[in-house]
A and B are shown apart, each in its own frame.
Chain A
Amino acid sequence: TQLLEQSPQFLSIQEGENLTVYCNSSSVFSSLQWYRQEPGEGPVLLVTVVTGGEVKKLKRLTFQFGDARKDSSLHITAAQTGDTGLYLCAGRRGNTPLVFGKGTRLSVIA
């Protein structure tokens, strides 16, 4: 059983479109992180959210942590080809190891 479920698994959109990807769990997390991973590279941290209901913005990316700290979303406005990659969410409960979802593979087409 996957502790963190990410949806959709795959997403292919045209440049300029908006999109939202989701990260859901039945467990409560003390913090949740979003990473982007490109082929042949390790994941790169985009954001960490720790408070229920928290919203963080990183240029065209908006991250939200659910009120109950069980889920999160990533919204991208006006997607660009440079946004292409694997988006991973990862959660931590207390001092336990980071748990990753399987990721959403995003392809932005020019």
Chain B
Amino acid sequence: DAGVTQSPTHLIKTRGQQVTLRCSPKSGHDTVSWYQQALGQGPQFIFQYYEEEERQRGNFPDRFSGHQFPNYSSELNVNALLLGDSALYLCASSLGVWQGAGEQYFGPGTRLTVT
């Protein structure tokens, strides 16, 4: 049973560029959430996708956008990259939008470095 997969593993971009990160959820899951984890911090919620729509969004600017495909996989796009966008980007999948203590499973993350 495949868990959550993310690609690429590492990425180096220049300030001002755009980046796309990809996530495939755990088999049987239909909801994908994206988190940003800066060095020395806990993950911060970016947004959640369910039924190909953004359902909830954290405190992130519009430069961060996403998409969910019919097969439940998801992309995170970041435009006009800033140095402060350097972080580990985590994808988590779950079954259904959050209800109570619903569990989610995290992928290994994509390490983005902006120079």
Residues of A within 8 A of B (CB): 4, 30-31, 33, 35, 40-45, 48, 50, 88, 90, 92, 95-103
Contact = CB atoms under 8 A, between A and B. Distances in A.
B90 A42 contact: yes
Contacts of A98: 33, 45, 98, 104
A50 B101 contact: yes
Contact of A102 (B40, B56, B104, B108): B40
Interface string B1-36: 000100000000000000000000000000001000
B108 A40 contact: yes
A41 B108 contact: yes
Nearest to A89: B42
A31 B44 CA distance: 17
B41 A102 contact: yes
Interface in B71-115: 90, 92, 97-101, 103-109
B105 A100 contact: no
B10 to A, nearest CB: 10
A48 B42 contact: no
Contacts of B99: 95
B63 to A, nearest CB: 19
A99 B56 CA distance: 13
B42 A42 contact: no
A44 B101 contact: no
A100 B97 contact: no
Given A50-B100, A50-B101, A42 B58 contact: no
B60 to A, nearest CB: 11
A95 B101 CA distance: 9
A97 B34 CA distance: 11
B108 A30 contact: no
Given A43-B43, A90-B42, A98-B45, A31 B107 contact: no
